[in-house]
């Protein structure tokens, strides 16, 4: 079945769902880290440790390695304890008696930072994937609805042209009876059409696109060529009268 809206693209919809799940996990990781950091502020040594931003990954883990872990999380939506244990390897673990008997709290804080960093990276990766799939989904959608879009645009363009013809009749009528006079304007009903349409700036280029013709052809269909000739004729008459 051809897509009729962006949500019909399965891959894009699934990628969006994964991103939403990651956003939830990321927020939980942020809150978990913040709670542990508040607890650490109650002790001088742990407060100092938290403020120093100690390294929580072994140097053997490159950015590419960390993105590899993040790519797994982008799929599953979770950072499992087994991954945290692997990421913890090569880094010191503190005993319970260290940091004034708060060593375990420091270990929990470091794990929370690891979880937060991996979630942050996973969200970045997933946003890139969503952006890539959205481009593809938009192309597929536009191709799918092209026929309907062209049909609707053609019908609308023709109606606008009809409106243009009616407005020229309206303008000719207004000029004939002197509708520019304020007294006539006040008494005549229905009142004159209240909107000046942006033909040159917007409508003629759009009509040309909708009908698959040149702007010159659109101008001709809208009756502007005959209107221009009429204006030139009247200008020549005024020049001849002054002479």
Per-residue DSSP letters for 70-113? HHHHHHHS---HHHHHHHHTTS----TTHHHHTHHHHHHHHHHH
| Predicted pLDDT of residue 145 | 93
Consecutive 10-residue runs of the chain (243 residues): their mean pLDDT?
Answer: 85 96 97 91 77 82 96 96 92 67 83 96 98 96 94 96 88 79 78 86 94 91 64 53 58
* Number of Cβ within a 10 Å radius of residue 232: 10
| Predicted pLDDT of residue 183 | 76
C-beta separation of 194 from 180 below 8 A: no
**E strand or H helix that includes residue 220:** helix 215-221
How much helix, strand and coil, in percent to the nearest 5, is found in the chain? 75, 0, 25
| Predicted pLDDT of residue 236 | 47
């Amino acid at each position: 079945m051809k897509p009729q809206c962006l949500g019909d693209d399965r891959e894009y919809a699934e990628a969006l769902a994964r991103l939403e799940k990651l956003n939830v996990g990321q927020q939980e990781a942020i809150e978990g880290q913040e709670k542990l950091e508040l607890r650490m502020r109650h002790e001088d040594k742990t407060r100092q440790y938290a403020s120093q931003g100690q390294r929580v990954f072994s140097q053997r883990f490159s950015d590419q390695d960390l993105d590899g872990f993040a790519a797994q999380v982008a799929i599953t939506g979770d950072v499992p304890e087994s991954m945290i244990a692997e990421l913890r390897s090569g880094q010191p673990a503190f005993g319970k008696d260290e940091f004034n008997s708060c060593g375990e709290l420091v270990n929990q804080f470091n794990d929370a930072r690891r979880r937060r960093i991996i979630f942050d990276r996973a969200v970045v990766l997933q946003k890139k994937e969503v952006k890539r799939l959205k481009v593809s989904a938009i192309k597929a959608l536009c191709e799918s609805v092209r026929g309907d879009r062209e049909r609707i645009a053609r019908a609308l363009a023709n109606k606008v042209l009809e409106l243009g013809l009616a407005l020229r009749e309206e303008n000719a009528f207004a000029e004939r009876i002197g509708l520019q006079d304020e007294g006539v304007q006040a008494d005549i009903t229905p009142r004159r059409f209240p909107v000046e349409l942006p033909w040159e700036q917007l409508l003629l280029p759009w009509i040309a696109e909708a009908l698959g013709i040149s702007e010159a052809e659109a101008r001709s269909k809208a009756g502007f060529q005959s209107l221009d000739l009429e204006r030139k004729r009247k200008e020549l008459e005024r020049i001849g009268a002054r002479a």
